[in-house]
Amino acid sequence: MITNNFGYHAPPDLDGVVAALAEARGDVVVLGGGTMIIPDLTHGRASADVVVDLSRAGLSGIREEGDEVVVGATTTYTEVLSDDRAAALVPLLRTLSSGITGGPQIRNKGTIGGSAAYANPCSDVPACLVALGARMRLASARGVREVPAEEFYTGAFATVRRRDEVLAAIVLPRPDGTAGYTKLKLAESSWPIVTAAVVSRPDGSLRVAIGAVAETPRLIDVEPPSAGVDDPAWRDHVRRAVAAAVPEPWSDLLADGAYRMRVAPAIVARSVAKALAAGGEETP
């Protein structure tokens, strides 16, 4: 149980959220779905003097803004799966939401923005956002700024979000091409030890991001496979691309960095194959 006393705010809108954050003192926790931070508070891995709950702030849902798609920070995985427009507007997020670890309870409570902001290196979300070219919309009493997803993450469980800021939304370019996502887990209930997200563009180029291999998601420079994803020369190209992007691999209780580096190229290849297959290309 959570034993310490703390101030609790559940503002009705974004203006109320940023006002509460501006006035807060001490350790501040921004509560999204709570699937990760509440266990941290319960077991003493985190502490709070003030909790700002986003559940009533109207920050969920998927909407179109011109040529972009905006995903509210408190949009749950279940909302992504149940929104009829998601398959067309956010297909990669729909794919990761369908396979999120934890079953219905996590899908119903866990949020896209909460997972992004928590910055667990092993989460499904960060690498997908980087591959998609997402921008993180941060709001405070000082105004709103947007940060590219690849610049948002600064380390394990660390981001550029300032103390008085909230991740209000994630801004995505309208889908242009096809995508693939693969993760490797030791068990069905465990965190991924490698993730790979790939966007195949109409011009044939690839945007590839890997997660759980380093402290932060990494873009890797991968060329399309001219002779198929099983071509040894292309596989070696992927291996070298991973090594160039990850000079210091991430180790934790699930797997050490050397193992992650060894299996990451194969996970990338699977995601590339999925992205190309979704676009109608043959992948031997």
Q: What's the pLDDT tens digit per position in 245-265? A: 999 999 999 999 999 999 999
Establish if 28 belongs to a structural domain. yes
By residue count, the chain amounts to 284
Average pLDDT for the chain: 93
What domain count does the chain have? Answer: 3
140: tokens are 């405070």
Q: In the prediction, which pLDDT does 1 show?
A: 55
264 and 184 in one domain? yes
From the DSSP assignment, how many helices (H) and strands (E) are in the chain?
A: 11, 14
126 and 48 in one domain? no
Q: Which residue range forms the structural domain that includes residue 14?
A: 7-53
66 and 158 in one domain? yes
Q: In the prediction, which pLDDT does 106 show?
A: 87
Cα–Cα dist 129/171, whole Å: 9
101 and 30 in one domain? no
pLDDT digits (tens, 9 = 90+) for 191-231: 999 999 999 999 999 999 999 999 999 999 999 999 999 99
Give the CATH number of the domain where residue 161 resides.
3.30.465.10
Taking alpha carbons only, the member of 235, 254, 264, 244 closest to residue 127 is 264
Q: In the prediction, which pLDDT does 279 show?
A: 59
Give the CATH number of the domain where residue 201 resides.
3.30.390.50
201 and 164 in one domain? no
